[in-house]
Chain A
Amino acid sequence: MSLTELTIADAAAGLRARKFSAVELVRAHTDAITALNPRLNAYITPTADAALQAASHADEALAKNEARPLTGIPLGIKDLFCTHGVRTTAASNILKNFVPPYESTVTANLLRDGAVFVGKTNLDEFAMGSANITSAFGPVENPWKRNGDAETKLVPGGSSGGSAAAVAAGLAMGATGTDTGGSIRQPAAYCGIVGLKPTYGRCSRFGTIAYASSLDQAGPMARSVRDCAIMLQSMAGFDPRDSTSVNCDVPDYSAAVGRSLKGLKVGIPAEYRAEGLSAEIEAAWQQGIEWLKAAGCEIVDVSLPHTKYGLATYYIVAPAECSSNLARYDGLRFGERVPGDTLDAMYEATRRAGFGPEVRRRIMMGTYVLSAGYYDAYYLKAQKVRSLIRRDFTESFQKVDVLLTPTAPTPAFAQGEKTDDPVQMYLNDIFTVPASMAGMPAMSVPVGLGATGLPLGLQLIGRPFDEETLLAAGSALENAAGFTHRPAIRAEGAK
């Protein structure tokens, strides 16, 4: 099997058995990036030289039997995580020359465990988007194609679209993502990979460029549930430098993969049979229910009555937090500056030139809902509805252990679709936003192909800090689905 098709678990075993070296493994991926990135645009900044150097250190560690869990494993890093000495752009012109003098906690944890970073992956600008079309560095192409249509370029989802495309196409064995309203799970579904958004507070936010701080959460994206468990093991943990990091033990996530589901209660929320849910995804959902039943789960109908208000609540809360977080881009301390005669003229010119249209729109929405006279009507109201959304989940989790839903209402769509009306684009996140609003962990698992040959994902939502149940149920879905389909554009095929 080609080195770019291996799982992280198999590659780690292969490295230890000396079947191949870390340099060979990493080179297979950097070569694939050289070959395919000009087309897919999954990476903003490939880092082949540094990766090969790190790989030779990994081989030294392997030779001395000092390998760590991720030693020699090539990973992509969403370009929202600050990496010491490596340009970090957030896919924005305002940070196009920003070189962090520090390392994010999540990437520092991965480096501690031996991971090799092959590059910084593309994303929607400041993680604001659902199709990876708002990047200042150009859109990412989904490596999947509709049956019989090699021409139409599909979106990889967003905002972690570069990470999802890179993992799907074999340009990384796994990648980090961040998820604010679905930015790990929706692209994972669109690209046929596994993506896990942990509980809010599970992974440190330190050094991750902020979008909406009460929602942002880092998580793993990989080609198997076990690989996500391996990555999460490294990424998770208490960090005193993040005031919302939660100090609780990190369990052995890999041990949960393949765990028996006998007697597990799985909730099926009625409200997710929403308008706009495609028939093929509804059928995949029903199939998922049957698979979990066959694995020994008890299926329970539940109701999350405020589901339909999740998106509207999100599009008040997230822009509000974004307008506050992005106030730091003032052209003074870091980032690009456009000169002006006065301080205000400099701010206005800098932020006009530095931010793209979607980011400017969200900053302005957020500014409005927080402004005098409108705060109570919009922001405070949204915070109250958010309490009700969380209460729906809390009450459901008194009856069931995990929820099963679709990840997105449709498979991947084409570049250029849904771009006229911001609200139409926002509707992609209808099933992922509620768990984000409540801070619950959730995971997308690919379960099959739809009529047009595109991957379909199902979402599992768990209790706070119960990522283990997601991994257990996710691996049951993975085994039952036997999803071995690969995208049309991938490293192996390119050779």
Chain B
Amino acid sequence: MSLDPATVRRIARLARIGIDESDLPALQGELNGILGWVEQLNEVDVEGVTPMVGTGHAALRTRPDVVTDGNCRDAVLSNAPDAVGPFYTVPKVVE
């Protein structure tokens, strides 16, 4: 499997990472290098093997459906790059 420049652009778009056209050749080479290397997994017979999700040391727990946190608006907003009053600001998203 080899990625072409259009696919690298599409991945960057999906990941919301801006790239310059001048980045493309190096990025394409690096990603293809990694993908070529992970191809070795094709040697492994995984017929009937259950995929491992988590390490299985404990089952996921449930907890009572109660409020355990809150009333900390200022703390939540304290690291906002741009806040106005009790709100985060965002670029205009509705035309």
Chain A interface (Cβ within 8 Å of chain B)? 97-99, 101-102, 199-201, 214, 240, 243-244, 246-247, 306, 308-309, 312-313, 315-316, 323, 327, 330-337, 339-349, 351-352, 355, 360-361, 363-365, 367-368, 371, 377-378, 380-388, 390, 421-423, 438-439, 464-465
Name which residue of chain B comes closest to A199, CB basis: B57
Q: List residues of chain B with CB within 8 A of the CB of A214.
A: 53-55
- Within 8 Å of chain A (Cβ to Cβ): is B41? yes
Name which residue of chain B comes closest to A383, CB basis: B51
Question: Interface digits, B1-24 against A, CB 8 Å rule (1 contact, 0 not)?
Answer: 101000010011011111100000
Name which residue of chain B comes closest to A347, CB basis: B16
- Assembly CA distance A386 to B51 (angstroms): 7
- Within 8 Å of chain A (Cβ to Cβ): is B85? no
Q: List residues of chain B with CB within 8 A of the CB of A349.
A: 18
- Assembly CA distance A364 to B8 (angstroms): 8
Q: List residues of chain B with CB within 8 A of the CB of A316.
A: 38, 41
| Count, chain B residues at interface, CB 8 A | 49
> What are 5 A-B interface contacts by the 8 Å CB criterion?
A240-B63, A309-B40, A330-B16, A332-B81, A363-B17
Interface residue ranges of B24-46 to A (CB < 8 Å): 27, 30-31, 33-35, 37-38, 40-41, 44, 46
Chain B interface (Cβ within 8 Å of chain A)? 1, 3, 8, 11-12, 14-19, 27, 30-31, 33-35, 37-38, 40-41, 44, 46, 49-58, 60-61, 63, 72, 75-76, 78-82, 88, 90-93
The answer to whether A337 and B82 touch (CB under 8 A), given A361-B30, A422-B33, is yes
Structural contact, A335 and B79, CB atoms closer than 8 A: yes
Q: Shortest distance in angstroms between A159's beta carbon and chain B's nearest beta carbon?
A: 18
Q: Kindly identify which residue among A240, A244, A390 contacts B52, using a CB–CB cutoff of 8 Å.
A: A390
The answer to whether A312 and B40 touch (CB under 8 A), given A101-B78, A343-B90, A367-B14, is yes
Structural contact, A439 and B37, CB atoms closer than 8 A: no
Name which residue of chain B comes closest to A363, CB basis: B15
- Assembly CA distance A353 to B31 (angstroms): 20
Name which residue of chain B comes closest to A374, CB basis: B1
Q: List residues of chain A with CB within 8 A of the CB of B3.
A: 368
Structural contact, A337 and B38, CB atoms closer than 8 A: no
Q: Is chain B's interface secondary structure helix, strand, loop, or mixed overall? A: loop
Structural contact, A388 and B58, CB atoms closer than 8 A: no
Q: Kindly identify which residue among A99, A312, A334, A341 contacts B91, using a CB–CB cutoff of 8 Å.
A: A341
Q: Kindly identify which residue among B27, B40, B60 contacts A361, using a CB–CB cutoff of 8 Å.
A: B27
Structural contact, B37 and A244, CB atoms closer than 8 A: no
Q: Shortest distance in angstroms between B93's beta carbon and chain A's nearest beta carbon?
A: 5
Name which residue of chain B comes closest to A200, CB basis: B55
Q: List residues of chain A with CB within 8 A of the CB of B88.
A: 332-333
Q: List residues of chain B with CB within 8 A of the CB of A309.
A: 40-41, 44
Structural contact, B16 and A361, CB atoms closer than 8 A: no
Q: Kindly identify which residue among B1, B34, B56 contacts A365, using a CB–CB cutoff of 8 Å.
A: B34
Structural contact, B34 and A423, CB atoms closer than 8 A: yes
- Assembly CA distance A316 to B46 (angstroms): 16
Q: Shortest distance in angstroms between B4's beta carbon and chain A's nearest beta carbon?
A: 13
Q: List residues of chain B with CB within 8 A of the CB of A465.
A: 57
Q: List residues of chain A with CB within 8 A of the CB of B61.
A: 240, 243
Q: List residues of chain A with CB within 8 A of the CB of B15.
A: 323, 351, 363-364, 367
Structural contact, B17 and A244, CB atoms closer than 8 A: no
